[in-house]
Structure 1
Amino acid sequence: MADEGNIITDLGNDDTVRPNGADNQPAIGLISQYIKDLSVENPNAPRSYQAGAQPDVDVQFNINAGQIDGEVHEVGLKITVTCKVESLTSYIVDLTYCGLIGMRNVPEDQAHMFLYAEAPRILFPFARRIIADAVRDAGFPPLLLDPIDFQGIYFQQLQQRQAEGESPFASEGNA
């Protein structure tokens, strides 16, 4: 039914008036992303620039997620890169890159998968660029990290937890 151009919705037996956007549908969104911690070390400069051998690069990463407030979660992607040439450390880059994720009406298993697989996939390209720039700014060729299959790793860890008899969906923590 309409009244002078205004649309009036018949809510049936429900007398509740809902403002625009208020619903019970699942919703997930990236609110913000930011560098939480960044450390770049070049402990053996200037000797580290004189090494001629092939560098040995070790990349470690960890995913951490936790609820901040109600529907807001923080996902942290921690990446540590250590480069050595002939047992001499050339550089160390330690980055914690985070995103604030808003979630509403999402089942626990899907929320967990989003926080530990999809959110890191969204954050990774930005973290990758920061690391490449940090290595370049330290005086070395930029390091372009290979893509990471976060979903594959998530499912692998999920299967491992189930095989060990643990709860597959830890509400908060590390992956």
Structure 2
Amino acid sequence: MADEAPTGAPQQPTQPVMRILGQFIRDMSFENIVVQKGMTGEMQPDLKVEVALDAKKRQVENQYEVITKYKVVSTNKGNDAQLFIMELEYSGLFHIENVPEDQLHPFLLIECPRQLFPFVRRIVSDVTRDGGFPPVNLDNVDFVQLYRTELARRQQQGEAAKAN
């Protein structure tokens, strides 16, 4: 009977609570190599996007900072010359409750970046357009797969370290 509320009805599981307290650009750079080097001629951009994630507990209870790091490199398909490089670190401050401890890490590195992504997409689009290029509209990021890949990479590093 411990699972029942005083009215005799089964107790409902507590739903996770997530609120975005704030978000901001931690660091950003845009290097327009085409203008710097005076490149001319036909250019066919080829984009490479790298994404990295980090999260840390803040001193206030139930508050976390989630940092998303994007590196967008555009090269010319014809000769692999770099056209531009954009690096962006975008952070969100989150208040999170009712997430079990064993699920907190994936929650921070999957759900929180999903909430920040539309803002990152807009910034990348605006900066590349303002830099003189067609706006880069980032494809959706599969944060679940990114999380799994990072876990596998860390596990391999740990195993390699034990073998040495």
> In the alignment, which of 108, 115, 119 is matched to residue 115 of structure 1?
108
After TM superposition, the score normalised by the length of structure 2 is 0.75
After TM superposition, the score normalised by the length of structure 1 is 0.71
Separation in structure 1 between the aligned mates of residue 155 and residue 141 of structure 2, nearest angstrom? 24
Amino acid at match of 2:52: N
Show CA shifts across 1:109-128 (max 9, x none).
22112111011111111101
Structure 2 residue aligned with 1:90 = 83
> In the alignment, which of 54, 57, 67 is matched to residue 76 of structure 1?
67
Show CA shifts across 1:47-98 (max 9, x none).
34x3413212111110010112232110011001111122322111110111
Separation in structure 1 between the aligned mates of residue 82 and residue 157 of structure 2, nearest angstrom? 40
State the identity %. 39
Q: Which consecutive unaligned segments of at least 5 residues does structure 1 have?
A: 1-11, 13-23, 167-175
**RMSD of aligned C-alpha atoms?**
2.5
Show CA shifts across 1:29-51 (max 9, x none).
21111111111111331634x34
SS in 2 for 1:57: strand
Higher normalized helix content (fraction of residues):
2
SS in 2 for 1:53: coil
Q: Which consecutive unaligned segments of at least 5 residues does structure 2 have?
A: 1-5, 7-13, 159-164
Separation in structure 2 between the aligned mates of residue 43 and residue 161 of structure 1, nearest angstrom? 32
Q: CA deviation at 1:164?
A: 4.9
Give the number of the structure whose alpha-carbon radius of gyration is greater. 1
